[in-house]
Structure 1
Amino acid sequence: MRRAVSSGALPALLAGVLLLGGCASTADSDGYYTVKRGDTLYSIGRDFDQNPGNLRAWNKLRNPDDLEVGQRILVRPPAGVVARTGAGQSSRPAASSTATRKPAARAAAKPAPKDQDDDDAPAPADAKLDWMWPTQGKSAPSADSYKKGIDIAGSDGQSVVAAAAGKVTYAGHGIRGYGNMVIIKHTPQLLSVYAHNKSITVKEGQMVTRGQQIATMGNSDTNKVKLYFEIRRNGKPVNVMALLPAR
């Protein structure tokens, strides 16, 4: 399950705000943390004050979405390596081998009904949100095989809006392959992703309403002007066409 860090894969930060947290944990004497149920690369990085990109590079992860319970993740720099900052990490010294993981104040999530295991099928709770298209333009499945959402073609500077009301949990350019990206959390289970923007007009932690502008369309980290849009439920992508209104 390993490939070069430069390959495109949606980082686990897309699921980090949704899943279970645990009590305080520590890295072992070698600087490794053992993955528990509900952990994501982003939540581990945030709890140990490490950039998710650092964790991905140090552990040579092919797809950071595929962390497994019981897997050992290096959470401090290997010898001779300086940790880089960005994408949610402050410019503080790298975590030591005895670093304590900060308790995560997240509510325990109830197990999803069995029929929600189908990533393409919308769950009943999804339909309760009043979804709208995030921008105008022709849509098609993403041309990038590792991306599970849709590309919406448009013009440079075109308005990008929140597809539903929620809270901005990520706004930045820290993930290679996605450019200027915004992530909005709508419910404890649902979030939406908006990538390749020209500019971002919201900040992390900001509450946004349905239809509020959050960015302008561009071609950051891609070869043409477009918006990459995705909806995730419990960290897994769903069929956005089943949720967005017909047009």
Structure 2
Amino acid sequence: MFLGGCATGGWMGQSPFESQSQSSQPARVPAGFYRVNPGDTLPGIAAAFGQRVDDLAAWNNLPRTAMLTPGQILRVAPQPGVNPASNEGLVVRPAWPAYGQVTRVTDAGSNNVKGIVILGRPEEAVKASADGSVIYVGTGVDQYKSLVVVKHGGDVVTGYAVNGDVLVKEGDTVKKGQPIAQMGADSSGRGTVEFEIRRAGKPVDPLAYLPR
């Protein structure tokens, strides 16, 4: 595989898939909470932190379709002592979501790794990198049409931004290697998938998790 350079802003601009430390916020928020940024939605924040939208709404006494206000503080983790069964376990060495040339995705103007882009062919399958449940299927960001987020054990989620068809829906359980979407053609006619791994809402380098 070829590792090249690629500087983009990532899937979701300023949040919820951005680390809070990277955004310009007036003060830190306590662990388990998140300060809303412009453009954030409840489903997007829930996906970023590996939670169900209904749980996030209940923890914050909000309707599922609530409009959020920038600066608003939301609870994004259960109260201490609450340990849902869906949060048990850890993800260990998931498989590649697709095969092809790989480029790193970094924060614009920095070397902070956000994820990778895998190049392939249009309509090539994009596969779940590990067992989990689909917690978000929604519109993509920037050049991508769709974003699929899968929650695994513990506080780990993986995301797949694609231009092709999505083969799963929210609530589906998926197995490692199961096709969840298809690559679609980019402006150059190549198939691509942008892949990220998040732990507790913060990006980690996928190359540290995925076998070569």
Quickly name the TM-score band, shorter chain normalised.
Answer: 0.5 to 0.7
Matched, 1:195 2:161: yes
The structure whose residues are more often strand, as a share, is 2
Question: What is the CA deviation profile of residues 67-120 of structure 1, one whole-angstrom value per residue up to 9, with x for unaligned ones?
Answer: xxxxx34x9xxxxxxxxxxxxxxxxxxxxxxxxx9xx7953479xxxxxxxxxx
One-letter identity of the residue aligned with 2:101: K
Residue number in structure 1 paired with 2:179 = 213
Contact 1:196 1:220 (C-alpha < 8 Å) held by counterparts: no
Instruction: State percent identity of aligned pairs.
Output: 30
Distance 1:106 1:145 in 2: 29
Displacement, 1:192? 0.4
Residue number in structure 2 paired with 1:135 = 98
Matched, 1:107 2:78: yes
Contact 2:124 2:191 (C-alpha < 8 Å) held by counterparts: no
Displacement, 1:13? 4.2
The structure with the largest alpha-carbon Rg is: 1
Question: What is the CA deviation profile of residues 27-76 of structure 1, one whole-angstrom value per residue up to 9, with x for unaligned ones?
Answer: xxxxxxxx953225444796453467xx5xxx5xxxxxxxxxxxx34x9x
One-letter identity of the residue aligned with 1:152: I
Instruction: Point out which structure has higher relative CO (alpha carbons under 8 A, 6+ apart).
Output: 2
- In the TM superposition, what are the counterparts of 1:1-247 in structure 2 within 5 Å? 8=9, 10-11=11-12, 12-14=15-17, 37=30, 38-39=33-34, 41-43=40-42, 47=57, 48=62, 49-50=65-66, 59=70, 72-73=71-72, 106-108=77-79, 129-142=92-105, 145=108, 148-173=114-139, 175-219=141-185, 224-246=190-212
TM-score (norm. length: structure 1): 0.53
Matched residues, number: 162
Contact 2:10 2:106 (C-alpha < 8 Å) held by counterparts: no
**What SS does structure 1 have at the residue aligned with 2:130?**
coil
Distance 2:168 2:189 in 1: 24
One-letter identity of the residue aligned with 2:123: G
Distance 2:67 2:139 in 1: 13
Displacement, 1:136? 1.1
- Gaps spanning 5+ residues in structure 2: where? 1-7, 19-27, 47-52, 82-88
Residue number in structure 2 paired with 1:122 = none
TM-score (norm. length: structure 2): 0.61
Distance 1:231 1:222 in 2: 26
One-letter identity of the residue aligned with 2:169: K
One-letter identity of the residue aligned with 1:186: H
Contact 2:125 2:182 (C-alpha < 8 Å) held by counterparts: yes
**What SS does structure 2 have at the residue aligned with 1:149?**
strand
Contact 1:168 1:207 (C-alpha < 8 Å) held by counterparts: yes
**What SS does structure 2 have at the residue aligned with 1:135?**
coil
Contact 2:134 2:151 (C-alpha < 8 Å) held by counterparts: yes
One-letter identity of the residue aligned with 1:107: P
